[in-house]
Structures are given as C-alpha cells and as structure tokens.
Amino acid sequence: MGRPATVTINLDALRHNYRIAQQLSSMNNAGVMAVVKADAYSHGATACATALADIASGFAVACIEEALELRVAGIKQPILLLEGFFEPDELDKIDQYRLDTVIHHQYQLDALAAHPLDHPVRVWLKMDSGMGRVGFAPEEYRQSWERLNSLPWVRDIILMSHFACADEADNQHAQQQLATFNAHTSNLPGQRSLCNSAAVVALPQARSDWNRPGLLLYGVSPFGQAHDIEQMIQPVMELSSAIISIKTIPAGGSVGYGSQWTAQRPTRIGVVAIGYADGYPRHAVNGTPVLINGRRAPLIGRVSMDMLTVDLTDLPHVQIGDRAILWGADLPITEVAQKANTIPYQLLCNLNRVPVHYQGALMTDRADLEQVLV
Ligand SMILES: *Cc1c(COP(=O)(O)O)cnc(C)c1O
C-alpha cells in the first residue's frame, strides 16, 4: 500500500510492438535492435530485454553501464553501444562482455587501432549524413572504413547513419540523408543500419539489414501528427495514481501555487497524488486531460511537486480513492506531451520515484525465457 502513484508496464504489449517493428522491417529478414537506452525509456531495461529475449535480434544502449546491466541479467544477444566508448579503457569491457560498438569519430578509431582485442569486435561505423551531430563526414567515411577493415580485431563493419527529421510529414531532409548515405557507401561491402522508429514506419526505402526502433516498441507514435501506426501498436506504460481529496470551492476561489486558476463557478476540485517530482510535466496547461473512471477531467492550476488538481464538477460520481490515469492506453502520452509543449520521449525519460509493476511476458513466459537464457 502507501502512495498510490504507479507505473504499470505491459510486457505483452511490448512483445506485440516488437513484432510490429519486425514486420515493418523485414523485407529480407532484417534484424531489429530493440533500443533500451535510458532504462528502456523508463520502462525498465532489464525487464524489457528479458521479456524480449526469445524474439529480439539484439539491444541498443547509450553506454557501457547500461550494456553491463543487461549482460549481468543474462542477456546473450548482441548489445550495441550507440555512442561507442567514451574512454579507451572501456575497450577491455567491450572485449570481455562481447559488446558491439559504434565508432563515430577519429579519436575512437585511433583508440581501437591501438588496442588489440582478444575477441574480434563488430563495429557500427557511423556516418553523419545530415544529422550534424556525431559521425564521420561522408567524404572521410570510406577512408575510415578502410582503416577499420585493416584491423584484425574488427570482425565485421556495419554501415550506419541516423535521421534528423524522419518524424516529419515532409521527409525531404531524410530523403537527402539517405541519398548522401547511399552515394558514399555504394561500393562498400557489409550490412546497413539507418532507421529509428519514425523511419521504420515512414521511410520504407531506408529500411535495411538492421533497424533500431525505440519509442515504437513502447507503443508510442514517434510522429507529432495523427498517424495510422497508432492503430497497430499498443501503449506499454500506464501512469496512474488516485484521488486523495475532493472539495468544492466557491466561484472566485483559486487553486494551487501562484493562484493561477480561479473558479468561474462553484467547482468540485479533485487532488491526484502525482506531481512534477514523479515526472508529470509542470508545464502541462490547464485543460490537460486526466482519465478518471474512463472519463476525462481537465487539469486546473499549477502542477505541484507531489500533487495536481483536476476539475470534477462534471464528474459528480468520482470519489476519494478512485484511480486517475495520467497517460496510458486510453489517454495517449503524445496528447499530454503536446499540452506540456514537449515530446513523449522526454515525459517517459523524466519519470522518477514511481514504483513500477510488471504484467505479462515476464511472469507467464518465465520458463521459456530461462531456456533461452541458459
Ligand atoms: C535513440 C536512438 C534510436 C531510437 O530512436 P527512436 O526514435 O526512439 O526510435 C535509434 N538510433 C540511435 C542512434 C539512437 O540514438
């Protein structure tokens, strides 16, 4: 018991979404690296990777600490470090734990060239085809490839890039990136990897040997606009809490810090035990929906650290103790993100303090998983 704020993770929905990503990806039996960085976008990296262990081709993370967490949990599939290593001494761990690494910069290439490994490593050589962040310039890509290819402790090189604007309805920029990538890799051997969630869905011509969806696996559309994909995926996370106080204030009464909201009519105020310390966005505007007993109540007043307030005047049957859903299957996180002028990625990653409960695969498929992990 205790505080009612809860994150519920549906691992069957995660498996469903992984299979959708696989179906979208597989023109030629493509691999799907499940991106589980940032603790699987706060869904729990170990739980999610374990739940996908019998179907996923591999996992992608942001750093060695995240990779080791998965290895320690018994994950045997390839694990890719999306930014490679930050310090040369990580190469020993890459070797020991058989990790795949991105190489995106000359200093990494120099460090790898100076550090023979016992077990030849698979390298994902990253081109900056127009994202403007990390990766070798298209003109220096071939030379970097040749240097890598000359190292006996590099067993395989995957040609990789990343899109800046694949989530936009007008995907000209992504087309341009794809053209740049293709032009500068046309006569290089090896597998290719380009697509994040948005590109897996919206840029079929960019799907290749290895796709790298993240957000899509969690059942959230990567697009700012309504998109058909929403009908195919299932939200994995539900964030909920409960009503801990109800009172009626007169017209003219105000609610919350800064007295930013004033009642225009006698108003029934409900208090929900969740706030910005839990990761609910403080910038959510008045009117942001909160789902209570299947009906939407509007957020009113400023979100506090541990509580927020909703207008229950039009929901007279709501009682103390009723559950309030902040986002989940019937209240898309994309909608809440828009109301808070942010993106679902940030809402997910900002989650904090809320206990996580798991449903589905982890429990029911336990026996199968243990066989896979032996
Ligand atoms: C985070 C990340 C992804 C996954 O992005 P989504 O938009 O969540 O699908 C893919 N590739 C790279 C290089 C990333 O850093």
Q: For 90-111, what is the mean pLDDT?
A: 98
Q: CA 31 to CA 221: how far, in whole Å?
A: 21
Q: Is 43 in the pocket of ligand 1 (CB under 6 A)?
A: no
Could you report the per-residue pLDDT of 19-70, keeping only the tens digit for each?
Answer: 999 999 876 679 999 999 999 999 999 999 999 999 999 999 999 999 999 9
Q: 300 and 165 in one domain?
A: no
Q: 185 and 55 in one domain?
A: yes
Could you report the per-residue pLDDT of 196-212, keeping only the tens digit for each?
Answer: 999 999 999 999 999 99
Question: Rounded to two decimals, what is the model's pTM?
Answer: 0.95
The residue whose CB lies within 8 Å of the most ligand 1 atoms, and thus the one to mutate among 14, 24, 32, 35, is: 35
Alpha carbon of 196 to ligand 1 centroid (Å): 5
Largest Cα span, the chain: 77
Q: Is 193 in the pocket of ligand 1 (CB under 6 A)?
A: no
Residues 167/215, Cβ–Cβ less than 8 Å: no
Residue 81 resides in a domain: yes
For the chain, the average pLDDT equals 95
Structure confidence at residue 128 as a pLDDT band (50, 70, 90): very high
Q: Does residue 245 or residue 365 have the better pLDDT? A: 245
Residues 36/44, Cβ–Cβ less than 8 Å: no
- Cβ contacts of 39 within 8 Å, gap of 6 or more: 45, 66
Q: 25 and 74 in one domain?
A: yes
Q: Is 344 in the pocket of ligand 1 (CB under 6 A)?
A: no
Residues 299/290, Cβ–Cβ less than 8 Å: yes
Q: Is 214 in the pocket of ligand 1 (CB under 6 A)?
A: yes
Domain of 259, in residue numbers: 237-331
Distance of CA 285 to the CA centre of its chain: 24
From residue 93, give the alpha-carbon distance in Å to each of 15, 65, 99, 118, 119: 29, 10, 8, 11, 11
Alpha carbon of 82 to ligand 1 centroid (Å): 9
Q: CA 269 to CA 280: how far, in whole Å?
A: 19
Q: For 248-272, what is the mean pLDDT?
A: 97
Q: 191 and 53 in one domain?
A: yes
- Whether 1 has a pLDDT exceeding 80, the answer reads no
Q: 106 and 248 in one domain?
A: no
pLDDT at 85: 98
Alpha carbon of 217 to ligand 1 centroid (Å): 11
Q: 155 and 295 in one domain?
A: no
Provide the CATH number for the domain around residue 243. Answer: 2.40.37.10
For the chain, what is the domain count? 2
Q: Is 17 in the pocket of ligand 1 (CB under 6 A)?
A: no
pLDDT at 186: 95
Could you report the per-residue pLDDT of 276-294, keeping only the tens digit for each?
Answer: 999 999 999 999 999 999 9
pLDDT at 369: 44
Q: 317 and 249 in one domain?
A: yes
- Tokens for 270, please give them: 């409900």
- Return the exposure string of 104-127: e unless at least 16 CB atoms fall within 10 Å of the residue's CB, then b: bbeebbebbeebebeeebbbbbbb
Q: Which atom of ligand 1 is nearest to the CA of 35?
A: 4
Could you report the per-residue pLDDT of 133-142, keeping only the tens digit for each?
Answer: 999 999 999 9
pLDDT at 362: 54
Q: 281 and 143 in one domain?
A: no
Closest CA to 326 of 365, 362, 273, 374: 273
- Whether 363 has a pLDDT exceeding 80, the answer reads no
Q: 241 and 219 in one domain?
A: no
- The one-letter amino acid code at 156 reads D
Structure confidence at residue 368 as a pLDDT band (50, 70, 90): very low
Alpha carbon of 358 to ligand 1 centroid (Å): 24
Alpha carbon of 35 to ligand 1 centroid (Å): 7
Residue 163 resides in a domain: yes
Could you report the per-residue pLDDT of 183-193, keeping only the tens digit for each?
Answer: 999 999 999 99
The owner of tokens 């930014």 is 83
Alpha carbon of 34 to ligand 1 centroid (Å): 9
The residue whose CB lies within 8 Å of the most ligand 1 atoms, and thus the one to mutate among 41, 81, 82, is: 82
Residues 344/215, Cβ–Cβ less than 8 Å: yes
pLDDT at 370: 43
Q: What are phi and psi of 181, to 5 degrees?
A: -60, -50
Kindly report the protein residue whose alpha carbon is nearest to atom 6 of ligand 1: 214
Q: 158 and 70 in one domain?
A: yes
Q: Is 212 in the pocket of ligand 1 (CB under 6 A)?
A: yes
* Catalytic (active-site) positions: 37, 257
Provide the CATH number for the domain around residue 60. Answer: 3.20.20.10
Q: What percent of the chain has pLDDT over 90?
A: 94
H or E element in which residue 323 lies: strand 323-327
98, with CB counted inside 10 A (0-12, 13-18, 19+), is: middle
From residue 101, give the alpha-carbon distance in Å to each of 73, 128, 148, 197, 319: 20, 16, 12, 20, 53
Q: 247 and 218 in one domain?
A: no
Q: CA 64 to CA 92: how far, in whole Å?
A: 11
Q: CA 235 to CA 32: how far, in whole Å?
A: 19
Q: 188 and 42 in one domain?
A: yes
The residue whose CB lies within 8 Å of the most ligand 1 atoms, and thus the one to mutate among 100, 212, 220, is: 212
Could you report the per-residue pLDDT of 325-353, keeping only the tens digit for each?
Answer: 999 999 999 999 999 999 999 999 999 99
